[in-house]
Structure 1
Amino acid sequence: MTKKQDAITAYAKAFGELTEDTLDDLVAMTSPDIIFTDPFNRVEGQGGFRHVFDHMYETCTDPRFDITDVGHGKAASYIRWRMTAQLKSWPRLNLEFEGMTEVHANAKGQITAHYDHWDSASQLLAKLPVIGAVVRRVLKLFILPPRG
């Protein structure tokens, strides 16, 4: 493996073992100008990156990432994961998301980009009280009808 691939493999391992106490270790693996995106956020820099995870720990009980696969491509690497947690406040949902993170690293082995891809509509919004009924109805518009 290349230095970048080794760094991303170590990053995936750190994600799978992430706790509030090990968050500093994860941040230390990133470049000062890291870009992070998910369906709700786009932040730049280590401070913004850390803020995303501080917020996760503030709003969720026992968040965990189960890393199911890591693949390396020509320009990026990809981490498949399953996240579980429970919201601390109303509606106190049990969260379970499956997704993929596109990860980039520089020649120094620092993570420069972390792009989370997961279906927030069906995995989160459709499960919320009130808005969930509307989201489920919209999602049905995109479901293929059975073939006759």
Structure 2
Amino acid sequence: MSTASIIEMSNKNTSVHETLGRFTQLFNNLCAGNMAELGTVYGDNVKFTDPFSSVQGIDELTEYFTDAYANVISCGFEFGEPVINGSDVCIPWVMNLQHKRIRKGKSVKVDGISQLVIHKGRVVSHRDYFDAGQLLYENLPVMGGVIRWIRNQAG
């Protein structure tokens, strides 16, 4: 990601850019063994929401990600160009996930976007939007085939 290609809606805020850089780096290095790194990017009172959960505070966030990454074989993100408006950031991504309990550890790609609020160099609000079906339901035995068939018929 180059700062020259970032779409900006307001004046350049160096702290936001630096925090966004730490955020993307964190998620491309995050694993079950380094959850303490979350505190380098997130504020103590962070609010995090995704299609599965909503947590408040760095301790709850750390616990949530510790559980989420417990069976992860590998997880990486291809981040798109962020849209920045002051302290508000939206950044699209594609997650490449290998999880012991999803598709027997085979790679799964999930499209999503993160909506962030950055204040004083820390992420204070983080909401992820992604298709839970693309992550889980389409990859379940029996049910996954039915969901993929329905999706193909609708599209």
- Calculate the TM-score normalised by the size of structure 2: 0.75
- Alpha-carbon separation, structure 2, partners of 1:138 and 1:51: 35
Matched, 1:32 2:44: yes
- Alpha-carbon separation, structure 2, partners of 1:90 and 1:21: 20
Higher strand share: 2
Deviation at 1:74, TM superposition (A): 4.3
What residue number does 1:120 align with?
Answer: 132
- Alpha-carbon separation, structure 1, partners of 2:93 and 2:142: 28
**Identity score, percent:** 22
Q: Which runs of 5+ in 1 are unaligned?
A: 144-148
What residue number does 1:10 align with?
Answer: 22
- Alpha-carbon separation, structure 1, partners of 2:93 and 2:66: 19
CA 1:126–1:21: 2 relative to 1, 3 Å: closer
Q: What whole-Å deviation, never above 9, does each CA across 1:41-83 have from its counterpart, x for those lacking one?
A: 1111111211222123212112222323333124511222222
What residue identity is the alignment partner of 2:116?
V
Matched, 1:136 2:145: no
CA 1:49–1:76: 2 relative to 1, 3 Å: same
Task: Classify the secondary structure of the residue corresponding to 1:58.
Answer: coil
Contact 1:16 1:67 in 2 (8 A): no
- Alpha-carbon separation, structure 2, partners of 1:35 and 1:74: 19
Deviation at 1:36, TM superposition (A): 1.0
Q: Which runs of 5+ in 2 are unaligned?
A: 1-11
Task: Quote the RMSD (CA, aligned, Å).
Answer: 2.4
Deviation at 1:102, TM superposition (A): 0.7
Contact 1:67 1:80 in 2 (8 A): yes
Task: Classify the secondary structure of the residue corresponding to 2:81.
Answer: strand
Task: Classify the secondary structure of the residue corresponding to 1:92.
Answer: strand
- Alpha-carbon separation, structure 1, partners of 2:142 and 2:67: 24
- Calculate the TM-score normalised by the size of structure 1: 0.78
Moved over 6 A (4+): none
CA 1:69–1:22: 2 relative to 1, 3 Å: farther
What residue identity is the alignment partner of 1:38?
D
Contact 1:9 1:70 in 2 (8 A): no
Give the length in aligned residue pairs: 142
- Alpha-carbon separation, structure 2, partners of 1:113 and 1:85: 24
